[in-house]
Copies of this chain bind each other. A is one copy, B any other.
Amino acid sequence: MALLLACFAGASVAQSAKSRQAAGDDFMYQYSIIDALMAGVFDGDLTIGQLKKKGDFGVGTFNRVDGELLIDKGRVYKVAWDGSVREASDSDSTSAAFVKFFKADTVIHLNGPGLTYEKVQEQIRHLLNPNGIYALRISATFPTMTTRAEKPAVKPYTSLPDHLKHNQVVFELKNTKGVCAGFLLPPYLARTNVPGFHLHYLADDRKSGGHIFSFTADSLTIEVDMAKGFTIENNTNAEFGKVNLQPDRGAELKKIE
């Protein structure tokens, strides 16, 4: 396995400093928290138009968990349960989204053959700091790529694991070229977000995508953008104030990731 690491600005991978962005731009932003989504808070009040002002890159879902959301280069895409991809309207709303203004401060090239998602995760973890907050943009041709999207929920909503049990559709993509967008987050962001890797996929031809379960690749370009911090905006939907956020849903979350 060959690894080529290009690290801008001569800083170490884990501590590369950035002064090129306004302070607020180098923070990750999220609307709502993962535990509220897990508990069934499937509607939010943030529009896609508003979300775009918080970041030009990231992942999330839509109201009613109607598909998987991916933002790349300022464009917001919806991967629907039937596998189709369309650009989201600014008037759509999200119940949970995690975004950042993306500007790579590190680029990692990984060469296989036969790299799996697990092996790629292992390599990235080896290079980055376990306590850092990272946005990751991975470009490659994938011999195999397994993703999911889900059918929208109807009220009364159940929990996310219960909803996925009956409404998740899995896509087995072959020889697909595209971009994985998402985050590698530290353990202290459990409950608010997904600790570890959380990536969504979008094919370059905009014909497939979804929440990534696994992939294989022979050669990948991994752009890394370390965040200085993290902003959580609470979901203002009344349901957010009603759900029980006391239990630790970490084990449940791992099962559906």
Contact = CB atoms under 8 A, between A and B. Distances in A.
A130 interface: yes
A245 to B, nearest CB: 5
Q: Classify chain A's interface size.
A: 20 to 34
A228 B238 contact: no
A19 interface: no
Contact of A229 (B130, B190, B234): B234
A230 B231 contact: yes
A114 interface: no
Contact of A232 (B132, B187, B229): B229
A246 interface: yes
Given A130-B246, A230-B231, A231-B230, A241 B191 contact: no
Interface string A17-39: 00000001001000001011000
Contacts of A192: 188-189, 192
A15 interface: yes
B188 A27 contact: no
A130 B230 contact: no
Interface of A: 14-15, 24, 27, 33, 35-36, 129-133, 186-192, 228-234, 236, 238, 240-241, 243, 245-246
